Structure 1
């Protein structure tokens, strides 16, 4: 079975979502289905069909999260000795050599990635170019818009 890297925080977030789905959403959906059944003819009951659809999506998400957690390789980055290099879990500040724009990203697992929060997947082109490099190194990243050069300004091991 293939293992997928995940930070402790990412695993906790999935566990919290799973708990919410099982303890809050599941009972709410079950109650909505029961209420809709009481309304009569199920073939033309929009509330019943909507609740059943919601139930299906919720149960699919539960199975998805359980599968991801069972295949997760949870990595506590605080136990990894700091080497000054970019690796899974580190936060790195890079500088676009051409535009002088600074960007800061934490390199995380695929399930945790959220570009708006500055979290990029370890499998993304930027992360792949950065992993193993040190502060001061210049990397070239192939993007849909072409090649972009970044200088690694800072590597933080949190």
Structure 2
């Protein structure tokens, strides 16, 4: 991974990882706060602390909600498994969104400058843009795909390798 720099040319802190315990705690806090602010009928507010424990132990970015459902038994939720999985899908969407917000905050607060301009040739393809969904990430057209193709690979700024650097 290459270091990233801000507009003044100073190196910035590395991208927050969802597996880092401090970052994960913040993701879970924000995500569950958002989830419980909406109307839902599976989890009670007094189960939030147990959910925090379950997510700290078993959640990871873009994880399998059916796998998580196995650990919700300790909550004593009186609904069927399908309802639990659907609720966990919603919770995980809130957690994933919270992580993307944390990434955006990191990107904006550090005023990160893309290391290469749009149009640069990388080892994986050509940079066609900067992602609006995930901060500090290029959209790359993979070599061999026509320019009209909607398919793009996401490449983090720090993982981008110019084709001639190979």
Into which bin does the TM-score normalised by the smaller protein fall? 0.3 to 0.5
Q: Which has the higher strand share?
A: 1
Report the structure number with the largest CA radius of gyration. 1
Using structure 1 for the length normalisation, give the TM-score: 0.36
Using structure 2 for the length normalisation, give the TM-score: 0.35
